[in-house]
Amino acid sequence: MGLIGLLSSNKSVNLFLPAHGRGSALPPGLQKLLKLKPALWDLPELYEIGGPLINEGAIAESQKFFASEMGVDRCWYGVNGATGLLQSSLLALARPGQAVLMPRNIHKSCIQACLLGGIKPILFDVPFLSDRGHSYTFDKKWLQKAFQKAKELDENIVAVALVNPTYHGYSADMNSLIKEIHSYSLPVLVDEAHGAHLISGIRSDLPSSALSFGADMVVHSLHKSAPGLVQSAVLWSQGGRVDPFIIEKSIELLQTSSPSALLLASCETSLKELIGNKGKKKLISRLEEAELISEFLINNQVPLLENNDPFRIILHTSKFGLSGIDVDKKFIKQRIIGELPEPGTLTFCLGFSSHKGLGKKFVRIWNQIVQSSSPINNFSFFKRPPFNIVSKPCSATWPSAFEKVHLKESVGRVSVEMVCPYPPGIPLLVPGEILDKARVEWLLEQREIWPEQIPSFVRVIP
Binding residues (CB under 6 A) for ligand PLP: these are 81-83, 86, 107, 109, 163, 167, 191, 193-194, 221, 224, 233, 423-425
Q: How many CB atoms lie within 10 A of CB 168?
A: 24
Q: How many CB atoms lie within 10 A of CB 409?
A: 13
- In the bound state with ligand PLP, the residue whose beta carbon lies nearer, of 225 and 410, is 225
- In the bound state with ligand PLP, the residue whose beta carbon lies nearer, of 163 and 261, is 163
CB of 221 to ligand PLP, least distance (A): 3
- In the bound state with ligand PLP, the residue whose beta carbon lies nearer, of 157 and 235, is 235
- In the bound state with ligand PLP, the residue whose beta carbon lies nearer, of 167 and 366, is 167
- In the bound state with ligand PLP, the residue whose beta carbon lies nearer, of 93 and 358, is 93
CB of 113 to ligand PLP, least distance (A): 11
Residue type, 59: I
* Residue 352 exposure: Cα atoms within 13 Å on the Cβ side: 28
CB of 231 to ligand PLP, least distance (A): 7
- In the bound state with ligand PLP, the residue whose beta carbon lies nearer, of 82 and 443, is 82
- In the bound state with ligand PLP, the residue whose beta carbon lies nearer, of 169 and 385, is 169
Angle separating helix axes 277-299 and 358-372, nearest 10 degrees: 40
CB of 229 to ligand PLP, least distance (A): 11
Which residue minimizes CB distance to ligand PLP? 81
Q: Which residues pair with 221 in a beta bridge?
A: 233
- In the bound state with ligand PLP, the residue whose beta carbon lies nearer, of 132 and 312, is 312
Q: Cα separation of 147 and 153, whole Å? A: 10
CB of 84 to ligand PLP, least distance (A): 7
CB of 190 to ligand PLP, least distance (A): 10
Q: Cα separation of 199 and 70, whole Å? A: 8
Instruction: Report CA-CA distances (Å) from 131 to 135, 325, 339, 378, 454.
Output: 11, 16, 20, 11, 21
- Please answer whether residues 121 and 100 qualify as being in contact, where contact means their C-beta atoms are separated by less than 8 angstroms: yes
CB of 434 to ligand PLP, least distance (A): 26
- In the bound state with ligand PLP, the residue whose beta carbon lies nearer, of 19 and 460, is 19
CB of 429 to ligand PLP, least distance (A): 18
Q: Cα separation of 71 and 133, whole Å? A: 38
